[in-house]
Amino acid sequence: MSFTPKNLNVKYTFNVSRNRSKVWLISGFAVLISFLGFFFSWTNQSIGFPLRPGFDFTGGTQIILERKCDSECNKITTINISEAFNNAKFSNQETSQKLFDARIQFLDGYKSLLIRSPELSPSESKEVIESIEFVAGPLEDGGQSVESIGPTLGAKLLQTTLISLLVAFSCVAIYISIRFDRMFSLYALLALFHDVLIVCGVFSWLGIINEVEVNSLFAVALLTIAGYSVNDTVVVFDRIREINKQESRMNFKQKVDFAVSATLTRTLYTSGTTLLPLIALIFFGGTTLYWFAIALALGVVVGSWSSIALVPSLLTLRKEN
């Protein structure tokens, strides 16, 4: 016999307890693919880390040049830039050696040029810009950006990022433990690791395939995803507790199913409206915010999945009461 809790407006139903093996299979497959991404990224000689670290974490000098173009910029290649470096006569011979490891990238349809190299002095950066001006120029007046981060500061930023994530996860565990109980806290933490792991896994594959780097904005995205995921999970937990107080005739699996069904519409609407500005940011936010918006959008999708499917399916493992 089935029961419907009082004052519970359920428009759509999602039987989590019946489909939990499918939920675990989907999440397990995504986690496995993520770990494979970490492994291949770590063993890749050009990366050597689970994720391709960006300029913020490795340190060095980043030069961005805006090209002066009419309607369309002429297409030059990284080989043209490398040849310009090789033919240039720098006042310091070490500059050529540093540029040997430089990463060259064209942005915004060849309208901008990005060069990342080991740390250069201001005079060396000026010589580098002059050396490629006849290939990439003419350049926009005032459209030059030179930024340097020392290796020590880069390592410090990476350390701070990891500590921030650890503190955020610990606070979430304490909050859920106080408000609900330890098992709820454990499942919420598993969901957090699941969400962050999958987003990182996707970016590890992007780092291998498309040379996408992670930077401090990516760390901000992970912290935001953690907060978003917990918010949705707490809503489901609240509904389970509410139903638990109202209905003594239902078993715990039925209560979980009703709690998920009662929050399903809210979660889908919230996720959909959250994704709308992120999609706008992806298309119109420019190069700097593009991968930040991609990480957030991916986190919203994965976080919604873990809140309405993964965590409730794990809760059905609990014994009654």
According to the per-residue pLDDT averaged within each range, which of 84-88, 136-140, 311-315 is highest? 311-315
Q: Which of 136, 154, 152 is nearest to 144 (CA)?
A: 136
DSSP bridge pairs for 107:
112
Query: Rounded to a whole number, what is the distance in angstroms from the first to the last CA of the chain?
Result: 20
Q: Does residue 1 surpass a pLDDT of 50?
A: no
| pLDDT value for 319 | 59
Each residue's pLDDT tens digit, 277-297: 999 989 888 777 899 999 999
DSSP bridge pairs for 62:
116, 147
What is the pLDDT averaged over residues 116-135?
81
**Backbone torsions φ then ψ of 14, nearest 5 degrees:** -140, 105
| pLDDT value for 53 | 85
What is the pLDDT averaged over residues 85-112?
78
Gap between the Cα atoms of 148 and 59, Å rounded: 7
Gap between the Cα atoms of 218 and 260, Å rounded: 30
Gap between the Cα atoms of 317 and 320, Å rounded: 9
In the chain the domains, ranked by start, together with CATH numbers, are 16-53+153-316 (1.20.1640.10), 60-149 (3.30.70)
| pLDDT value for 100 | 77
Coil, helix or strand for 8? coil
Each residue's pLDDT tens digit, 179-215: 777 778 788 888 888 999 999 999 999 999 988 888 8
Q: Does residue 25 surpass a pLDDT of 50?
A: yes
Gap between the Cα atoms of 217 and 291, Å rounded: 9
Region label for 74, one of left (φ > 0), alpha (ψ between -120 and 50) or beta (otherwise): beta
What is the pLDDT averaged over residues 116-128?
81
| pLDDT value for 320 | 54
Gap between the Cα atoms of 20 and 43, Å rounded: 34
| pLDDT value for 15 | 81
